[in-house]
Structure 1
């Protein structure tokens, strides 16, 4: 089980103020689209921003729809209002904190060196459809188009290959495109290993990969749609100390 002294499920700090983290069930549901009380969700988001050390309302969320679309955000932009459907969000100014919400799908966080110093960051939501549709490749392309170099990615907790059961035909189709997805459940049925597939794809794209252990279905400290379809969503987060502005 994860857990860090500052209350995040997992957190890491890098050079020049780069920070990457994942919340857990302890932080509560952070999604507005799962039937939760919107005021309660907003309150949890504000408490999370306080723990991150960023100003209230600074966090940028996406309206995630299992697509391969990547958008961009800049400092000073108004928060995305939910009308734009995205599964990747990129910021050439890493002072803007980015979030991706999941409960079995892969949360993937990116950082690349900016041409003038500092960081370019991105967050991606990679379920089976998005992964096969190209969300990771599109996010990498966006980082490189913005001048990013030395790309790194953190693959967060997700449902593991021992738990992500799928029909045999779906497995065959998916593995025909991305062979590293092939897996078998602990009870002996066809499955997909999303994290292994994502790591392989990112490796081929020359991205340095960090994998954060944890299966959402097996770990009660994380939300899992497969375990509880009425669950909330936890967050993957990437930001720098500049996000306080």
Structure 2
């Protein structure tokens, strides 16, 4: 595959910066500004969806450049829809099979891949600890975000200081599920219970996550209102089936020591 690599800024890549906290960088990507061919066009960052690995590497490098991140200093996950958290102080040799990451190392970015599930970014700017979680239906029911908050607290974070950003995800008016599935999730996360515009059973994952954060004492929460299924500029598995992944990034500003 032949590509060219001009300098890219956040606008050309369609990045959405998040003002999470002083000394903390955070952003959500879109699907524009990359080199992947259809159906992954064009800024696919997922390495396990069938896209050309060279295209994925190029796309990831473009995002690092646009965000001002050190090349190759982003930690990715092999997301398994669970609630395990990994604390990292460097880029691991292999991709950890977890759904949440925590670091206290400046310049080390944490990334979460999504295409309908919710990307969740957390930061305590005083304790200098950040975290990222992949929270879809199974992960939300399993409590991956509360587990992430607790892991951050173990490293000095205070829930009253933690600031959270819940990124684009399929909305409660679109995420239709069988009634039994809705009841199963709502039994552990009542705030996730929803109804579609057509009046059928649904789940509002972002509302559920916000309630989980509040339950852990995290009240400074901002939510990106975009629904992935309704937004052509974002990847959506429920809409398109075979498709790419966009990402949420969070990192502590400064150079790694």
* TM-score for the superposition, normalised by structure 1: 0.91
* 1:81 and 2:94 aligned: yes
Distance 1:135 1:58 in 2: 24
Instruction: Kindly report which structure 2 residues correspond to 1:2-81, keeping only aligned pairs within 5 A, or say none.
Output: 5=11, 7-27=13-33, 28-74=43-89, 77-81=90-94
CA contact (8 A) 2:120 2:134 kept: yes
Distance 2:173 2:165 in 1: 21
Higher relative contact order (CA 8 A, sep 6+): 1
Q: Return the offset for 1:135.
A: 0.4
> 1:90-145: per-residue Cα shift (whole Å, max 9, x none)?
00124211100000001000001344xxx210100001111111101110010000
Q: Return the offset for 1:5.
A: 3.7
Distance 2:221 2:169 in 1: 15
Which segments of structure 1 move beyond 3 Å, counting only runs of 4 or more? 4-9, 13-16
Aligned to 1:172, which of 180, 183, 199?
183
Q: 1:114 to 1:94 in 2, by over 3 A?
A: farther
Give SS of 2:94's match.
Answer: coil
Give SS of 2:227's match.
Answer: coil
Distance 2:151 2:69 in 1: 25
RMSD: 1.7
Give SS of 1:136's match.
Answer: helix
Where does structure 1 lack aligned partners over 5 or more consecutive residues?
none
Number of residue pairs matched by the alignment:
236
Where does structure 2 lack aligned partners over 5 or more consecutive residues?
1-9, 34-42
Aligned to 2:163, which of 148, 152, 170?
152
For 1:214, the equivalent position in structure 2 comes to: 226
Q: Return the offset for 1:188.
A: 1.8
Aligned to 2:119, which of 94, 107, 111?
107
* TM-score for the superposition, normalised by structure 2: 0.87
